[in-house]
Structure 1
Amino acid sequence: MIKAGLKWMFLILGTMIGAGYASGRELWQFFGQESAVAIGLFTLLFIISTYVMMMLSYKGQTIHYKPVLEKLLGGKMTILYDGMIFIYLFTTTVVMLAGGGAALIAVGIPYWVGILLISGCLVLLFIRGNKGVISINIIIIPLLILLLVGVLLKFGQTTKGLWIIDFTHQSNWTSAFTFTALNVLPLAAILGAIGREIKSKGEIWIAALGSGLLLGIISFLYNESLVHVGNDVMIYEMPLFALLKNYPYAMTFVMTVLLWCAIYTTAASGILGLVTRIKKVFHRPLWEIALGLVLIMIPFTTVGFAKLITILYPIYGILNLYS
């Protein structure tokens, strides 16, 4: 039970910790100053949302997200949200592809080469079906979390008073709702695809509590660090590099590779939600569907990573509040 629960926990974290989150751009977009209470509220809401969706998937023994939507929203709203979730997964995966290109610029790899590299790796991953997505998260996400938390704690040690919270100035608490809502639909898509593989309620508790608490802690550490270097954040397309600017190049290189891997796992989760839904219509191997999707997505990456997040994420955060 514990092993299975951790497996789902890392799948959830792999869905969350992608280009927007791991780079700091998504946190900076929604939180920033006076957001400690907002992050605590987000943690609670995320745990509840994850638990509910996993229970619905488990009870329905689902293999894609539509049955979960029907339970959450009812028949009429499901039609609307089925289309919305498909568009959402498509556009956010485009953001991940753009992030895959932007991340590698820091180590001298051209933007388009990075996009083609992550696209090719995504298609190859689905040769094993959805097992490949689950396996890659178990390998990459623990290492990414350890290194990211290590960087944030090291930054905190050299910055006096960084973790002190002033509870009299917490005006940004409402951001917790839009930030949680932003992540509801991709989670529904991913958790709906694994319902048949969940074997017990214990797995659900481990996955929901573990992922929520880890995300809450990391979000707080990350956000407070970014607030301290707020003037530098606007210079970097990926705010993480504002924290790493005084570190040796070797650390920047390692974090760039792991950031790229986080982007990869989130893109894989997005593709998983899409291909499991499309397979009900086209009945083709998952890797063929993935290839077709990636080829359609690549032209949209010309908009740029930071601009895509700035435009799309707040819109989806508001639209998702209903669900």
Structure 2
Amino acid sequence: MKKLGYTLMFLLFTQFSWAQDINKIISTGYVDHLIKTLSNDDMEGRGLYTPGIDKAAAFIESEFKSIGLQPLIGETGFRQSFEKDGKALFNVAGMIPGKSKAKEIVVFSGHYDHLGIVKGDLQDSIANGADDDASGTTAVIALAKYYKQLNNNERTLIFVAFTAEEIGGFGSKYFSKKLNPDEVVAMFNIEMIGKESKFGKNTAFITGYDKSDFGKILQKNLAGTEFTFHPDPYTAQQLFYRSDNATLAALGVPAHTISTDQIDKDPFYHTVKDEYSTLDTQNILATIKAIAKSAISIVKGTDTPVRIPKLVEKQ
């Protein structure tokens, strides 16, 4: 009986310590600063080929540098540059090298581009993209800070803010070509976590839930918390194939998108009304912390999600 009591005390202490650490690293003020900056009017909706998106990229770069990330192998800085139609585009990416399993990669991603200046109402023409996807980009930066300070990742962690998602996922397609997909263990793509999901508070959904055991691993790591992950309730929307996880998933990687958006009835989606004022910042904070905890066994190398059947083999 005494042994059981000690075990319970240890588990409670571990949970308390984890909560204390993550609350200090991923604070409300920190997350608020990130998303306010990325969705500010100064960023001009982060439209492609604009000063606004360049300003957003510079901000993400400065955060990655401050956190202490390293550029990806083969890159001299945090910008991963490529061309489309003769014009320059760039992802912003950094890494934390793994310890004992450095050749095994875990990717955390979101897209930082949005629609830019659009036809709006008489008062507003800036599509700020606060939820889509400044919220996901905020999560990527905050998770980078958390895992860098935790300093216990056996696998190599890559944190990437993609460009050109809104016009066809060209940033993630280029990124995928630079990796050996067989070395990518999992991809946590984060898209639109700024509002409560249809399942209620402390919940999110995972696209392609039935395609691997990724979601089950995440939920196992959340045992004892109030947060739960659910399968994608919007399968008719084909969300699994509409975000930046799709390219790596097609190559067999357990690459899934985590979201909370009620996409079937979101009145702000792809409008000038997708602003900071419409967000539930506590929802963002809770989701980021849940991802941080749920990913821990994959980051440490003790869990490996099963592969997704390669779509390329059917072509």
TM-score where L is the length of structure 1: 0.27
Q: Which has the higher contact order (CA 8 A, sep 6+)?
A: 1
Higher helix share: 1
